[in-house]
Amino acid sequence: MVMQSKRAELQNSASWTDRDVVERVVGGETGLYEILMRRHNQTLYRAVRSYLHDGEDVEDAMQEAYLKAFAKLSQFKGESAFSTWLVRIGINEALQQLRKQRTMRVVSDTADAEQLERIADTGQMNPEQRTIQGEHRRLLEQAIDRLPEGYRAVYMLREVEGMAVAEVARALDLTESNVKVRLHRAKDMLKEALWKEHAQAPAFEFGSSRCDRLVEVVLARISG
């Protein structure tokens, strides 16, 4: 019965604003904090992922951000979107982790690219198209990872997460003009990086294994 009641409450919460949920959580309904977490998990992930590459580090920072946000929830006055307020806490946590890592000299020069939110498979793409799409996604993610920190955060929040320029500016404590300049520069750097990546890979390459196979088939037919 308790689980059914919880599910019903979560379903009914669709019409609640973040401010409504915050007030109820502060008022003692702490279980409703789950609503805020589920609503903003993706946004927080992408913000923290702009600074940290290791999956475990990202999750640790997100957990700490949520705990600190919960502890400070009564301080949220609704002057900006809850997502903006949460992102600032998450970024501060990510920066603290980076400082600790740099102090301990354990920052890795490379990190495995992690996938962003998967694009839903419409079922209309064939395996070859899905492979090409996956390769393009991998190259883009790696190129984003190589952007300088300040540009990467702006690009992730604006282009990947879709936050408004004003919200990105508030989240990162920048002016809107600065956000636009960094975004434009980030796009230029990505275009340049992706162009170099593609330029290094010959188009329509007939690989050695395919070449060997074709030669064998042709020779077999000639000799036959």
Q: What Å distances lie between residue 118 and 30, 38, 67, 154, CA to CA?
A: 31, 17, 27, 21
Provide the pLDDT for residue 122. 45
* Separation of alpha carbons 189 and 146, rounded Å: 9
Which pTM value belongs to this model? Answer: 0.61
**Model confidence at 108, in pLDDT bands (50, 70, 90)?**
very low
Q: What local confidence, expressed as pLDDT, does residue 118 receive?
A: 41
Q: What is the mean pLDDT of residues 116-127?
A: 46
Residues 52-61, mean pLDDT to the nearest whole number: 87
pLDDT level of residue 208 (50, 70, 90 thresholds): low
Catalogue all structural domains in the chain, each as residue range(s) with its CATH number: 1-107 (1.10.1740.10), 125-224 (1.10.10.10)
Q: 127-186: per-residue pLDDT in tens?
A: 555 555 566 677 778 888 889 888 998 998 898 888 899 999 998 889 999 999 999 999
> If you average pLDDT over residues 86-108, what whole number do you get?
74
Share the mean pLDDT of the chain: 77
Q: To the nearest whole percent, how much of the chain has pLDDT over 70?
A: 70
Residue 183 phi, psi (nearest 5)? -65, -45
Question: What residues have CB less than 8 Å from 23, skipping those under 6 apart?
Answer: none
Q: What is the mean pLDDT of residues 92-105?
A: 75
Cα 50 from chain centroid (whole Å): 7
Q: What is the rounded CA–CA span in Å between residue 52 and residue 60?
A: 10
The reported pLDDT for the residue numbered 178 is 94
- Residue in the block written with tokens 């982790």: 97
What DSSP character marks residue 13? G
Residue 124 or 158, more confident? 158
| pLDDT (mean) for 181-199 | 83
Q: What is the CA radius of gyration of the chain?
A: 23
